[in-house]
């Protein structure tokens, strides 16, 4: 594998230490210092006196490259550092110490610039590590104690004051506040939390004091898993990078053989030995593929860092490149396009007021554990409706509930349940119930001796669902498919609001995977789900996208792309970022190839000076790196 940065002494230092950080810049600095000193001594005392300073310049500028090249040779790989060292030593062998020194200075300077520039992307990720406090205020044995975060145990109760960051994942045990979750989910609006609400390490408590029961140890916290995922993604290679690496070994050997062949041709054409050798080593330098090798990783690292700051986690460069080619997006319905929980959408009073209808229904349903009952009670609380404890309560499984509230017997349930209870349902009411069902809603009837009214419940759409689908169409996504386990009538009601192209209803998880598999035969497919029930389909798709994955292990394990928050609009943003990354990679590769071709032609045709060849070669490498770093500031547009 060809490498462009030295891995000598700086690799032996502890990563993140001052030595590791300073060394790349110190190498070209000392090389330049010795070169300048050599020129001064050479002017006043002649070449022999300057020789030790030239040797020191070579050692300063070339030691790191020599160690890296040796390590590559031991792995039976030809390293680009080896090509530079051969050229520098070749220049010295014909008395061109200054030329060789300038080569090593510019090469080490280019490596240092790449080291610090690409380091910006890594620092953008390492900054996540600073989000979690090092210490936590915990309550143990009735006392508040300050302990290291690593010593927190599951079940501990920690105290977080206003403006403090949460040190661990947990559940709010006491208190109410607003939490800034943007470091985890990318959502800019703070989230209100209270007892029972899950919270994450690294987020910021904004208002009230909170007591939080720890649910995960430090190494298992959501923030720690995010950091691990991004680090894994940074080390994974994109397809274009793997192709370049496979090509690189053959190319390096061709460059060396080409330089030898060029030397022989120049000798045959009547060039002097030193002149022919000088052109050959210049060719060795300008044909080296430094810019080609760094073109993709600099761009991919920047894209990964940019996405992570937005709550979008790519699991590797391969997924960045593949997402750019997606033509079909498949959505799971429940929990992805919809909120995943029922809510009251219609209150239809028939014999009482809306408030009385909700009060009667909520009073009896507060004893039930059914999801529909919870939705009714929630609707009452949201509207400020006071509830009364029932004197008796009975649940008829799958049909409804019956109980006594005040002095009256109350029934809440399905149409069939009401008929079984001898409650009269008029033809007009029956038609209205049918219309509600056509709209994908579940009608719940409320009665005492007579029918009091109807409550309609449905799994409501996410606010971002329609804007996200509209944005996907604006980006040129040709086909949008919705999968669901619900019956077709409910699916049609949701699809009509979102304007999706196809609906597949009544599917089991393995059937969803079969549908996705069939779609992949027609093009690149992204499947968006919650990462739990949709795991087979996510794994089958070309790109599996888990949404709302903060704190969800299954989502992070299964998907190729993880949207930490519940905002579906992150998906079109990720597609825009991936397409921009692919454009930048193409720009870098085209630019690097053109520069190499021009420098080779100039060397062969007019005898380009080694120093100018080095400037062109290393300059193109640095430009490629900085072009890739532009992705750190890329902002997707709202389409």
String of DSSP letters for 261-299: HHHHHHHHTT--HHHHHHHHHHHHHHT--HHHHHHHHHH
Tell me how far CA of residue 29 lies from CA of 21, 86, 532, in angstroms. Answer: 14, 22, 54
Which residue out of 332, 459, 534, 566 is catalytically annotated? 332
Nearest to 454 by CA among 342, 341, 361: 361
Q: Do β-strands 328-332 and 479-483 pair in parallel, antiparallel, or remain unpaired?
A: parallel
Tell me how far CA of residue 260 lies from CA of 19, 417, 601, in angstroms. Answer: 39, 92, 16
Beta-carbon contacts of 1 under 8 Å, excluding residues fewer than 6 positions away, are 72, 77, 245, 248, 249
Query: What are the b/e assignments for 513-549, b being 16+ CB within 10 Å?
Result: bebbeebbeeebbbbbbbbbbbbbbbebbbbbbbbbb
CA 377 to chain centre: 38
Beta-carbon contacts of 492 under 8 Å, excluding residues fewer than 6 positions away, are 440, 503, 505
Beta-carbon contacts of 103 under 8 Å, excluding residues fewer than 6 positions away, are 84, 87, 88, 91, 285, 610, 611, 614
146 has which bridge partners? Answer: 137
Q: What is the CB neighbour count within 10 angstroms for residue 189?
A: 10
To which H or E segment does residue 229 belong?
A: helix 222-235
Tell me how far CA of residue 95 lies from CA of 37, 43, 81, in angstroms. Answer: 17, 16, 21
Please give the Cα distance from 573 to 79 (Å, whole number).
38
Please give the Cα distance from 452 to 411 (Å, whole number).
10
CB-based contact 618:109 (threshold 8 Å) = yes
CB-based contact 191:181 (threshold 8 Å) = yes
Q: Check if 47 is active-site.
A: no
Give the catalytic positions in this structure: 332
């Amino acid at each position: 594998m060809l490498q462009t940065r030295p891995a000598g002494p700086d690799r032996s230092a502890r990563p993140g230490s001052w030595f590791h950080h300073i060394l790349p810049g110190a190498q070209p600095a000392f090389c330049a210092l010795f070169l300048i000193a050599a020129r001064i001594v050479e002017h006043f005392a002649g070449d022999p006196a300057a020789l030790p300073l030239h040797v020191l310049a070579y050692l300063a500028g070339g030691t790191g490259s020599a160690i890296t090249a040796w390590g590559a040779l031991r792995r039976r790989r030809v390293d680009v550092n080896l090509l530079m060292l051969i050229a520098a030593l070749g220049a010295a062998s014909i008395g061109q110490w200054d030329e060789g020194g300038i080569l090593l200075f510019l090469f080490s300077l280019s490596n240092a610039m790449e080291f610090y520039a690409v380091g910006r992307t890594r620092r953008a990720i390492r900054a996540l590590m600073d989000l979690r406090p090092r210490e936590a205020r915990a309550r143990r044995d009735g006392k508040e104690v300050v302990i290291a975060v690593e010593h927190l145990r599951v079940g501990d109760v920690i105290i977080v004051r206003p403006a403090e960051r949460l040190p661990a994942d947990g559940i709010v045990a006491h208190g109410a506040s607003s939490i800034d979750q943007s470091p985890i989910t990318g959502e800019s609006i703070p989230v209100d939390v209270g007892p029972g609400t899950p919270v994450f390490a690294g987020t910021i408590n904004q208002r009230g004091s909170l007591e939080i029961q720890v649910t995960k140890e430090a190494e298992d916290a959501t923030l720690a898993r995010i950091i691990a995922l991004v680090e894994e993604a940074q080390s994974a290679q994109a397809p274009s990078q793997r192709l370049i690496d496979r090509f690189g070994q053959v190319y390096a050997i061709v460059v060396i053989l080409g330089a030898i062949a060029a030397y022989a041709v120049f000798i045959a054409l009547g060039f002097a030995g030193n002149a022919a050798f000088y052109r050959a080593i210049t060719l060795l330098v300008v044909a080296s593929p430094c810019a080609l090798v760094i073109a993709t990783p600099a761009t991919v690292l920047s894209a990964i860092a940019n996405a992570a700051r937005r709550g979008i986690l790519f699991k590797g460069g391969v997924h960045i490149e593949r997402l750019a080619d997606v033509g079909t997006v498949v959505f799971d319905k429940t929990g992805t396009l919809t909120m995943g929980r029922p809510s009251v959408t219609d209150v239809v009073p028939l014999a009482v007021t809306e408030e009385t209808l909700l009060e009667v229904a909520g009073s009896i349903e507060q004893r039930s554990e059914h999801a529909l009952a919870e939705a009714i009670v929630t609707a009452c609380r949201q509207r400020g409706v006071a509830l009364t404890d029932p004197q008796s309560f009975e649940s008829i499984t799958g049909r409804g509930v019956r109980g006594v509230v005040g002095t009256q017997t109350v029934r809440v349930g399905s149409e069939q349940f009401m008929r079984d209870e001898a409650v009269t349902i008029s033809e007009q009411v029956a038609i209205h119930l049918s219309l509600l069902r056509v709209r994908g809603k579940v009608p719940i009837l409320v009665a005492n001796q007579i029918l009091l009214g109807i409550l309609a419940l449905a799994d409501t759409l996410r606010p971002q669902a329609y804007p996200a689908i509209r944005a996907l169409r604006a980006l040129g996504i040709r086909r949008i498919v919705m999968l669901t386990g619900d019956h077709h009538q409910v699916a049609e009601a949701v699809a009509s609001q979102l304007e999706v192209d196809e609906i597949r209803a009544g599917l089991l998880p393995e059937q969803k995977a079969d549908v996705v598999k069939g779609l992949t035969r027609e093009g690149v497919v992204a499947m968006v789900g919650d990462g739990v029930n949709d795991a087979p389909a996510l794994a089958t798709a070309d790109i599996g996208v888990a949404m709302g994955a903060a704190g969800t292990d299954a989502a992070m394990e299964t998907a190729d792309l993880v949207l930490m928050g519940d905002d579906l609009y992150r998906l079109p943003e990720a597609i825009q970022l991936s397409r921009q990354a692919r454009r930048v990679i193409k720009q870098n590769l085209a630019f690097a190839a053109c520069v190499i071709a021009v420098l080779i032609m100039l060397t062969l045709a007019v005898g380009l000076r080694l120093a100018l060849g080095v400037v062109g070669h290393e300059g193109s490498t640095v430009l490629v790196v900085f072009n890739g770093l532009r992705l750190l500031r890329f902002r997707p547009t709202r389409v």
